[in-house]
């Protein structure tokens, strides 16, 4: 427990949640504030997603941009018992249009948080990404945290700058654990989806991740665009299941210390083209109307820009976290239905969610 908590006589574990205003952070804040024993301090640049899930009086909020508010970040780490870091640019378009900003935030600015945790001896839950594994190269083998090679594409394909920056930060977290006794856990999310994922773009906005692109296209009568035919396959994970996994890791510091954990649902794999058709079917069923737009193929380099490349398949091996007692409870049908339904019911409320380049969290 931190010195600040000891002096106040509080028995609550104080959690500093950087990037807590984003998709994962808002859901995690709701879960933590609904339990006894946690005092949640959210640090971010926007509260609007939080406002849809959590009462403001249930947590402490500090406006903080880790890119420039270094003193604020340092104080928050010092006063915490556990630091959860969700800050990142996580949008494929940005990797190509602003690669240096991606590296600055995802590596260098986040490294300051890691170093602050090492200085103050604070436990760190660090959010990595499944993209650190890189290419599957046609293999159907599941990615294993401690065994799989991390293979990315050529330097000219800037799509991989996100993966490379996140992988290097993983290695630096591990190194701080080895050299400075930093207590840490690294989490690798595999395509979490659910209410409030990303934002719903207008035709001229930046391009969010695939679910939100497809949802916005259906809501606005536009075509659903299949990048390079939509052949890439992903395992989609219900955000509620993901939050249960995170709570388990927070509750089990003994088992989570110094470890990397995949969080995903290997039984919920779908190609992007299959996702498009399933979302259209759900839209038609839930609204009584077929989407006005069509499903249309587009070249990845035309859609995102030169330097685009993607991994053909990402399947998580979840043996490590299963051994702690976690198991996904929601199947793909349940997850997609709930997420599509939420966005249909709340489309007007979601229009004010800011574009990804101005929002730095997962």
In a structure prediction context, what are the per-residue pLDDT tens digits for the chain, which is 362 residues long? 444 444 444 568 999 999 999 999 999 999 999 999 999 999 999 999 999 999 999 999 999 999 999 999 999 999 999 999 999 998 888 999 999 999 999 999 999 999 999 999 999 999 999 999 999 887 889 999 999 999 999 999 999 999 999 999 999 999 999 999 999 999 999 999 999 997 777 664 557 789 999 999 999 999 999 999 999 999 999 999 999 999 999 999 999 999 999 999 999 999 999 999 999 999 999 999 999 999 999 888 888 888 888 888 999 999 999 999 999 999 999 999 999 999 999 887 776 565 544 445 55
Residues in the chain: 362
Cβ-proximal residues to 37 (8 Å cutoff; 6+ apart), any chain: 11, 12, 13
Contact yes or no for 182/114 (Cβ under 8 A)? yes
Phi and psi (nearest 5°) for 196? 80, 10
DSSP, res 141: P
Between the alpha carbon of residue 29 and those of residues 23, 34, 54, 126, 247, the distances in Å are 10, 8, 7, 16, 11
The CA distances from residue 247 to 129, 274, 313, in Å, are 18, 31, 27
Predicted pLDDT at 208: 78
Residues ≥6 apart with Cβ < 8 Å to 78: 2, 4, 116, 120, 122
Going from N- to C-terminal start, the domains of the chain cover: 3-193+239-266+315-329
| Catalytic choice (59, 89, 162, 236) | 162
Distance CA 191, CA 336 (A): 12
Pairing of strands 233-235, 269-271: antiparallel
Q: Which two tokens stand for residue 311?
A: 């991994």
Q: Reduced to 3 states, what is the DSSP secondary structure of residue 88? A: coil
Q: Beta partners for 278?
A: none
Q: Can you state the angle between helices 70-79 and 110-120, rounded to 10 degrees?
A: 40
Q: Please list the helix, strand and coil fractions of the chain in percent, rounded to the nearest 5, in that order.
A: 45, 15, 40
Q: Is 37 exposed, middle or buried (0-12, 13-18, 19+ CB in 10 A)?
A: exposed
Our answer to whether residue 162 is catalytic in this structure is: yes
Q: State the pTM of this model.
A: 0.93
Cα torsion angle, 323, 35, 43, 83, sign:
negative
Q: What is the pLDDT of residue 360?
A: 54
* The pair of three-digit structure tokens given for residue 72, joined into one six-digit string: 């604020």
For the purposes of burial, counting CB atoms within 10 Å of the CB of 271, is it exposed (0-12), middle (13-18) or buried (19 or more)? middle
Q: How far apart are CA 344 and CA 223, in angstroms?
A: 17
pLDDT at 206: 57
SS3 274: helix
Q: Of all helices (H) and strands (E), which one includes residue 253?
A: helix 253-256
Residues 92/131, Cβ–Cβ less than 8 Å: no
Is domain 3-193+239-266+315-329 in CATH 3.90.850.10, yes or no? Answer: no
- Rounded CA separation 11/15 (Å): 13
Using CA atoms, how far residue 123 sits from 5, 69, 74, in Å, is 15, 21, 14
Residue 41, both tokens: 């301090």
Question: Is residue 246 within 8 Å of residue 125, measured between CB atoms?
Answer: yes
Rounded to whole angstroms, how far apart are CA atoms 114 and 258?
14
DSSP 160-194: HHHHHHHHHHHHHHHHHHHHH---EEEEEE--EES
Rounded-to-integer distance, Cα 128 and Cα 197, Å? 17
């Amino acid at each position: 427990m931190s010195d600040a908590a000891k002096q106040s006589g509080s028995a609550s574990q104080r959690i500093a949640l950087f990037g807590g205003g984003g998709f994962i952070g808002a859901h995690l804040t709701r879960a933590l504030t609904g339990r006894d024993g946690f005092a949640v301090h959210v640090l971010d640049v926007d509260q609007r997603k939080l406002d849809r899930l959590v009462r403001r009086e249930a947590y402490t909020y500090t406006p903080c941009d880790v890119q420039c508010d270094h003193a604020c970040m340092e104080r928050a780490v010092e006063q915490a018992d556990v630091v959860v870091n969700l800050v990142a640019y996580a949008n494929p378009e940005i990797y190509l249009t602003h690669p240096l900003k991606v590296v600055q935030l995802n590596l260098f600015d986040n490294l300051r948080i890691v170093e602050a945790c090492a200085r103050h001896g604070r436990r760190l839950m660090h959010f990595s990404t499944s993209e650190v594994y890189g290419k599957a190269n046609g293999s159907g083998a599941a990615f294993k945290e401690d065994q799989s090679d991390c293979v990315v594409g050529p330097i000219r394909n800037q799509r991989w700058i996100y993966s490379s920056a996140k992988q290097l930060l993983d290695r630096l977290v591990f190194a701080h654990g080895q050299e400075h006794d930093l207590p840490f856990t690294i989490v690798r999310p595999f395509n979490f989806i659910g209410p409030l994922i990303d934002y719903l773009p207008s035709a001229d906005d930046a391009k969010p991740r695939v679910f939100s692109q497809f949802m916005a296209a259906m809501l606005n009568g536009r075509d659903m665009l299949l990048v390079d035919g939509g052949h890439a396959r992903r395992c989609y994970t219900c955000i509620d299941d993901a939050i249960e996994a995170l709570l388990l890791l927070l509750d089990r510091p003994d088992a989570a210390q110094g470890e990397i954990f995949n969080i995903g649902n290997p039984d919920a794999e779908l190609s992007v083209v299959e996702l498009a058709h399933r979302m259209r079917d759900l839209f038609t069923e839930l609204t009584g109307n077929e989407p006005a737009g069509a499903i249309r193929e587009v070249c990845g380099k035309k859609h995102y820009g030169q330097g685009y490349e993607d991994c053909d398949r990402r399947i998580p091996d979840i043996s490590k976290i299963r051994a702690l007692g976690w198991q996904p409870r929601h199947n793909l049908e349940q997850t997609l239905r709930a997420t599509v339904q939420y966005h249909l019911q709340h489309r007007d409320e979601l229009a004010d969610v800011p574009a990804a380049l101005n929002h730095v969290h997962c």
